[in-house]
């Protein structure tokens, strides 16, 4: 019997619905081609709903989402909502409560894509960041004291647990082994200043490394990493790091792979429900203009299929995306592609069917 996947779709805010529509179009095409089916249930959450109803994430939503094979997310973030409310109330809550403890962010420069780094091409930029996704400064631990007075104190703590660090590092070693590229795993930290947190990370890394004698290990401070990613991105295969550093270095990664228009990620819960998203955000400026690049959302759909065990379909999506970046797009930036959002989605479908 043909496999059927149930997908929870959260188009979200801003350009989210437009790019998700293209991703769904591609999923429909690839599923028909490769003999599986999926049903998409749409969930209306995000800034608009919050502004209308005051509700961020409705009660019972998380339990509902747990019943799906995967979640496909567009974007969360609204210009009229104070920063932090939607991010913490939706995106981070989903990551935490669904225990999506890995944020997997591939950085790959596709042929035909302009790279801002001089003399670097697709042969130099192909690495994956394994970002811890449930701890660090993201837990919200800390507080304020004497707010608004000259004596105000603000504390924002970084929580690192042995269990949380170890499961992330283990995932990274396994991923590196499976990827079979350079077989090299780099720990990115800041052992010279964050002497509690990254001492735990480094010790755990070195211990787990003993179980993977075939994986070459390396360490770099995060500040130095931002330098190497610009100067020698070809040194990297898989990078493992904490939540905050992972957030920062993957925006740098997105730029060297051609921009937010192509950068996709997966919030992975190896034991539960994972969530796939373009990492670029809601881009309110471009909302409803049919100008935004849907390739990041399409690549996120590809990652989702790969995660569900439909590797062939995931690869076919990637191949089709490469055809489009090589043959059609003037730029990956919104409004500068030389094509509309829907046209780019149509191109991907067309190449997949060839
Ligand atoms: C990301 C985003 C989020 C993060 C924000 C929106 C909370 O920047 O997915 O990288 O910091 O993780
Ligand atoms: Mn980010």
Span 232-247, pLDDT tens digits: 999 999 999 999 999 9
pLDDT 10s digits, 133-187: 999 999 999 999 999 999 999 999 999 999 999 999 999 999 999 999 999 999 9
Q: Which atom in ligand 1 lies closest to the alpha carbon of residue 265?
A: 9
DSSP helix/strand/coil, 39: strand
> Can you tell me the distance from the alpha carbon of 26 to that of 350, in angstroms, rounded to the nearest whole number?
9
Pocket test for ligand 1, best of 281, 283, 297, 300 (most atoms within 8 A of CB): 281
> Can you tell me the distance from the alpha carbon of 203 to that of 189, in angstroms, rounded to the nearest whole number?
12
DSSP helix/strand/coil, 283: coil
Q: Scanning the structure block, which residue is given the tokens 């925006």?
A: 251
pLDDT at 239: 99
In eight-state DSSP terms, residue 68 is S
Q: What angle do CA 20, 26, 31 make, to 5 degrees?
A: 125
In eight-state DSSP terms, residue 136 is B
> Can you tell me the distance from the alpha carbon of 61 to that of 4, in angstroms, rounded to the nearest whole number?
22
State the sign of the Cα–Cα–Cα–Cα dihedral 299, 339, 75, 261: positive
Determine which helix (DSSP H) or strand (DSSP E) holds 186, and give its type and residue range. Answer: strand 184-189
Q: Which atom in ligand 1 lies closest to the alpha carbon of residue 103?
A: 9
Ligand 1 center from residue 129 Cα (angstroms)? 14
217 or 59, greater pLDDT: 217
Q: What angle do CA 279, 133, 95 make, to 5 degrees?
A: 75
In eight-state DSSP terms, residue 87 is I
Please give the model's pTM, rounded to 2 decimal places: 0.97
Residue closest to 81 by CA, chosen among 45, 27, 29: 45
Ligand 1 center from residue 119 Cα (angstroms)? 30
pLDDT 10s digits, 147-157: 999 999 999 99
pLDDT 10s digits, 301-340: 999 999 999 999 999 999 999 999 999 999 999 999 999 9
């Amino acid at each position: 019997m043909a496999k059927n996947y149930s997908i929870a779709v959260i188009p979200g805010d801003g350009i989210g619905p437009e790019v998700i529509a293209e991703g769904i179009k591609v999923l429909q095409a690839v599923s028909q081609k490769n003999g599986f089916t999926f049903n998409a249930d749409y969930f209306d959450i995000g800034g608009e709903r919050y502004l209308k109803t005051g509700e961020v994430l409705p009660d019972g939503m998380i339990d509902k989402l747990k019943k799906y094979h995967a979640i496909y997310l567009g974007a969360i973030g609204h210009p009229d909502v104070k920063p932090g409310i939607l991010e913490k109330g939706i995106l981070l809550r989903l990551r935490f409560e669904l225990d999506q403890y890995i944020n997997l962010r591939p950085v790959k420069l596709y042929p035909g894509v302009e790279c801002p780094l001089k003399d670097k091409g697709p042969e130099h930029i192909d690495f994956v960041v394994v970002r811890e996704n449930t701890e660090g400064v993201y837990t919200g631990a800390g507080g304020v004291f004497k707010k608004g007075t000259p004596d105000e104190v603000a504390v924002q703590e970084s929580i690192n647990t042995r269990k949380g660090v170890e499961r992330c590092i283990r995932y990274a070693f396994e991923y590196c082994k499976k990827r079979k590229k350079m077989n090299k795993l780099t720990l990115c930290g800041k052992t010279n200043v964050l002497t509690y947190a990254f001492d735990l990370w480094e010790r755990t890394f070195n211990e787990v490394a003993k179980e993977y004698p075939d994986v070459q290990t390396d360490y770099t401070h995060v500040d130095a990493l931002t330098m190497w990613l610009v100067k020698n991105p070809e040194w990297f295969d898989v990078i493992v790091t904490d939540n905050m550093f992972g957030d920062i270095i993957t925006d740098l990664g997105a730029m060297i792979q051609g921009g937010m228009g192509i950068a996709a990620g997966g919030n992975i819960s190896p034991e539960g429900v994972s969530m796939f998203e373009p990492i670029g955000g809601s881009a309110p400026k471009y909302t409803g203009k049919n100008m935004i690049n849907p390739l990041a959302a399409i690549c996120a759909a590809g990652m989702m299929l790969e995660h569900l065990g439909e590797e062939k379909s995931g690869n076919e999506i990637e191949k089709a995306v490469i055809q489009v970046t090589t043959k059609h797009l003037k730029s990956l930036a919104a409004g500068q592609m030389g094509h509309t959002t829907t046209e780019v989605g149509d191109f991907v479908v067309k190449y997949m069917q060839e």
